């Protein structure tokens, strides 16, 4: 593989129309083909109590985490199907979920400062369901759909103010980093994962082990 070219396209993915416009731009750039779609847009930043969550937070979480994944995937489907080598080397849709979309309840560190992660975690449960249903419909059409479920992966140093509490719940004793997530995405994008679809790839340093134990 030689050097590639990276294009930036500004888009607001919280509506069907915006997703369709982005797909149209991708079509122009990619010779009407798209090998891999990574649905990675996300929103964090909740600091309200269970009884005092603004309605807008719910709307924002579900619009970006759930609706955008469905509408962008459907808008890009013709491009994905054209690029697919069917079952030998399918096109790929990779959807970023969360370990909070797998477990029931919340991890202790999401309950700090009296805050509640319910809109976030429930939207991630929803997107895991959307992803699995998309896999049912798209896999026979030559498009693999898988879910990447990261654990705590700060995108900046000040992302969490209770980092010691977080690390204490991770068996590997550290949070995730970009390389941890990128490695999983590369695998799901490669020929090595041609026969992998409709599954959840958990990258969390063992965090869910403690999560499951705390809920038994």
Does residue 120 have an active-site annotation?
A: yes
pLDDT digits (tens, 9 = 90+) for 79-94: 999 999 988 999 999 9
CA nearest neighbour of 97 among 148, 63, 135: 148
CA nearest neighbour of 115 among 177, 76, 161, 81: 161
Q: Are 194 and 86 in contact (CB under 8 A)?
A: no
Residue 62 has pLDDT above 90, yes or no: yes
Residue scoring higher pLDDT (49 or 10) = 10
Q: Could you tell me the strand order of the sheet in which 91-96 lies? A: 36-39, 91-96, 143-150, 200-203
Half-sphere exposure of 53 (CA within 13 A, CB side): 18
Instruction: Write down the mean pLDDT value for the chain.
Output: 87
Q: Are 38 and 96 in contact (CB under 8 A)?
A: yes
Q: What is the pTM of this model?
A: 0.89
Specify whether domain 16-214 bears CATH 3.40.50.720.
yes
Q: What is the mean pLDDT of residues 139-143?
A: 98
* pLDDT over 90 percentage in the chain: 57
pLDDT digits (tens, 9 = 90+) for 120-133: 889 999 999 999 99
Q: 7, 62, 120, 187: which is the annotated catalytic residue?
A: 120
Question: What local confidence, expressed as pLDDT, does residue 19 receive?
Answer: 96
């Amino acid at each position: 593989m030689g050097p590639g070219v990276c294009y930036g396209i500004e888009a607001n993915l919280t509506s069907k129309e915006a997703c369709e416009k982005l797909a149209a731009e991708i079509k122009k750039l990619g010779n009407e083909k798209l090998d891999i779609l990574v649905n990675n847009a996300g929103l964090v930043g909740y600091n309200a109590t269970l009884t005092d969550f603004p309605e807008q937070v719910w709307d924002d979480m579900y619009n970006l985490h759930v609706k955008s994944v469905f509408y962008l995937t459907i808008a890009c489907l013709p491009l994905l199907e054209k690029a697919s080598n069917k079952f030998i080397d399918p096109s790929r849709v990779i959807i970023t979920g969360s370990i909070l979309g797998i477990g029931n309840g919340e991890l202790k560190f999401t309950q700090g400062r009296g805050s509640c992660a319910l809109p976030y975690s429930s939207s991630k449960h929803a997107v895991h369901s959307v992803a699995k249903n998309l896999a049912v419909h798209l896999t026979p059409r030559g498009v693999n759909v898988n879910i990447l479920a990261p654990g705590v992966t700060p995108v900046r140093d000040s992302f969490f103010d209770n980092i010691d509490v977080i690390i204490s719940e991770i068996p590997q004793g550290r949070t995730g980093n970009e390389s941890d997530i990128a490695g999983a995405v590369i695998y799901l994008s490669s020929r090595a994962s041609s026969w992998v679809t409709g599954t959840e790839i958990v990258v969390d340093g063992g965090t869910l082990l403690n999560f499951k134990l705390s809920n038994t």
